[in-house]
Amino acid sequence: GAVVSQHPSRVICKSGTSVKIECRSLDFQATTMFWYRQFPKQSLMLMATSNEGSKATYEQGVEKDKFLINHASLTLSTLTVTSAHPEDSSFYICSAHLTGGRSYNSPLHFGNGTRLTVT
Amino acid sequence: GESVGLHLPTLSVQEGDNSIINCAYSNSASDYFIWYKQESGKGPQFIIDIRSNMDKRQGQRVTVLLNKTVKHLSLQIAATQPGDSAVYFCAEKGNFNKFYFGSGTKLNVKP
CA distance B92 to B103: 12
Residues belonging to chain A: 119
Q: What are B67-94's pLDDT values in tens digits?
A: 999 999 999 999 999 999 999 999 999 8
* Residue A26 CB contacts under 8 Å (≥ 6 apart), including other chains: A1, A2, A3, A4, A5, A75
B111 cis-preceded (ω within 30 degrees of 0): no
Choice among A21-25, A28-32, A110-114, A115-119 with the minimum mean pLDDT: A28-32
Q: What are A88-118's pLDDT values in tens digits?
A: 999 999 999 876 555 678 889 999 999 999 9
Cβ of A112 and B43 within 8 Å? yes
Query: What is the least distance, in Å, from the CA of B81 to any CA of chain A?
Result: 22
What confidence score (pLDDT) does residue B9 get?
85
Q: What is the DSSP letter of B53?
A: T
Q: Band the pLDDT of B1: cuts 50, 70, 90.
A: very low
State the count of interchain CB pairs (< 8 A) between A and B. 60
Cβ of A110 and B43 within 8 Å? yes
Q: Which of B42, B99, B86, B90 is nearest to B64 (CA)?
A: B90
Query: What is the least distance, in Å, from the CA of A82 to any CA of chain B?
Result: 23
Asked if residue A46 has pLDDT above 90, the reply is: yes
Cβ of B43 and A95 within 8 Å? yes
Query: What is the least distance, in Å, from the CA of A63 to any CA of chain B?
Result: 16
Q: Band the pLDDT of A56: cuts 50, 70, 90.
A: very high
What confidence score (pLDDT) does residue A111 get?
96
Q: What is the DSSP letter of A43?
A: -
